[in-house]
Structure 1
């Protein structure tokens, strides 16, 4: 049986063995970090070094090359300096969605303002809007709806944080706390993750729901 904590410990030990005190942080994001993983879930690993070179990227690739579940490994790798200078609206989600296994990234907190959280909401809603229109016109792919709902989920997390100061990671918990229109989007995400094979009528209904939802948020952000 696969145990993510054991897997992360093995990876962290390998990283320490190769990079030594250059290793700043190792973390886990995504569904494994939230304990909502499925059999298809990726392993979203975060690795931060003191600084990052092209050779470091090759070395990391070598380190994970013979790890179990290699085909599922993805995530984020960066130098600390670049991370500190990263777009702050993205750092909001990055910080809150990351579970620490080695080191910490608490220094990012002081870099993120209320305006950055609001910007995260607007950018996320714009992305949902754009992806919806594109998918309705061109791809017409129900699997892409899962990705769109995932982006919408991040928007809802940021919205709830802006309103309450609380960041809720798990969809099942957030569903009970947010406004009905946001809970409706979370519900669609949960159902689509379980089964993305939907008919044309369902595709149209969910797509239009996401489109109208994102459109409303964009206008609310502009009017605020």
Structure 2
């Protein structure tokens, strides 16, 4: 599928999600190429009179939202949100997600957890039967980096996952760092037989700040493919 078609599908999914937004809502704005289409949709609606308060999940999203002059807030100022709309790197039929390809998984999860609903927008290429095709990001503290990597590898093996756990780099010389100043390990497991078990195991590792398994958080996924829009889950609360 060519790039322009994929971007057109992402835009369709974003427009469907934007139709859920009403004036007076407090919104979480996701991060990534698909979520960026949603920010554009909300920006266009705001210029036409939509009145919303938005909490961005990354500096990149904040800059985009400022370009539309959207009214921005923080979770300290606005701790309860009505709706978060975000993308996903992959999802399954149980609405379990892998997120964090853009490195914003910690803030994305905090914002989603503060929301009454999380709706995911995506194209059909992100749908999988079993999670793991996309590398699972794990955000970690810098202290004891190699020890934490070993614990991640051990936890993964105990949950039936195999594959390299590699620190993310910007280039050969530069470590990738999140907005919070943390490194990320990308775990190339291919298949995650027990996402819930792996999530629990990763949560128990002291050096892990957050991981990209979003389980029990999304209420619906809006999927745009060449045949149109379809929805998995419940759009309205």
Q: Give your verdict on TM over 0.5.
A: no
With the length of structure 1 as denominator, give the TM-score of the two structures. 0.27
User: Per residue, is there more strand in 1 or in 2?
Assistant: 2
Higher relative contact order (CA 8 A, sep 6+): 2
Q: Which has the larger radius of gyration?
A: 1
With the length of structure 2 as denominator, give the TM-score of the two structures. 0.26
